């Protein structure tokens, strides 16, 4: 389903759309991916749920919308930025600590709380070794892709290159 929006006066973001869908008493598992890009909202749902959402989702934030069914497949516009992080090792807890600028103990707490996924699989192992092209998602902090190692510092720490989804 898609909706064309005029974002001239109101800026609609992903949490606004997600909140509006949850306000319809839908469970997060009942619909698929959704994203907001300039001038458009795209929501993937099942055939059975599409009519219900089209009829009942008429307002997001302060913006009136009209959803329409669409058979077209849309690709989101993905923006990434390069990020260089110095880490002690490529263990998951060390990488999370470096990416999110926190202590390893707090990074381990995030991992144990199942708020971290690698390649779209939730992990609870703090000693998991990250490899090139691994996608690391930390709920509340963002999504990152490990691109490789650039070198080492004089104190034998690893200079790692990442791409961060913006």
pLDDT in tens, 36-95: 888 888 998 888 888 999 999 999 888 888 899 888 877 777 889 999 999 999 999 999
Query: At 12, is the secondary structure helix, strand, or coil?
Result: coil
Nearest one of 126, 156, 139, 56 to 100, comparing CA atoms? 139
What is the per-residue pLDDT for 38?
A: 83
What is the per-residue pLDDT for 62?
A: 82
What is the per-residue pLDDT for 8?
A: 75
Supply 21's token pair: 């869908």
Nearest one of 138, 89, 101, 148 to 117, comparing CA atoms? 138
What is the per-residue pLDDT for 116?
A: 95
Check if the beta carbon of residue 60 is closer than 8 Å to that of residue 53. Answer: no
Q: Which residue has the tokens 């059975």?
A: 48
pLDDT in tens, 98-135: 999 999 999 999 999 999 999 999 998 999 999 999 99
The highest-level CATH class for domain 80-165 is alpha beta
Supply 10's token pair: 């109101």
What is the per-residue pLDDT for 85?
A: 96
pLDDT at position 157 over 90: yes
Q: Could you give the CA distance from residue 129 to residue 91 in angstroms, rounded to a whole number?
A: 5
Q: Could you give the CA distance from residue 44 to residue 42 in angstroms, rounded to a whole number?
A: 7
pLDDT in tens, 8-42: 777 888 899 999 999 999 888 888 888 888 888 89
**What is the end-to-end Cα distance of the chain in Å, rounded?**
24
Query: At 10, is the secondary structure helix, strand, or coil?
Result: coil
């Amino acid at each position: 389903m898609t909706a064309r929006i005029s974002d001239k006066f109101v800026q609609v973001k992903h949490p606004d759309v997600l909140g509006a869908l949850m306000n319809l008493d839908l469970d997060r598992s009942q619909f698929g991916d959704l994203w907001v890009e300039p001038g458009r909202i795209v929501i993937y749902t099942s055939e059975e749920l599409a009519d219900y959402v089209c009829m009942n989702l008429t307002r997001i934030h302060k913006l009136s919308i009209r959803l329409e069914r669409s058979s077209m497949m849309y690709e989101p516009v993905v923006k990434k930025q390069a990020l260089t992080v110095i880490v002690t090792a490529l263990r998951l807890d060390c990488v999370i600590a470096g990416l999110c600028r926190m202590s390893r103990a707090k990074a381990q707490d995030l991992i144990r709380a199942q708020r971290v996924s690698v390649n779209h699989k939730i992990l609870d192992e703090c000693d998991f070794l990250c490899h090139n092209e691994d996608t690391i998602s930390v709920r509340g902090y963002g999504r990152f892709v490990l691109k490789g190692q650039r070198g080492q510092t004089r104190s034998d720490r690893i200079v790692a290159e990442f791409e961060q989804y913006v």
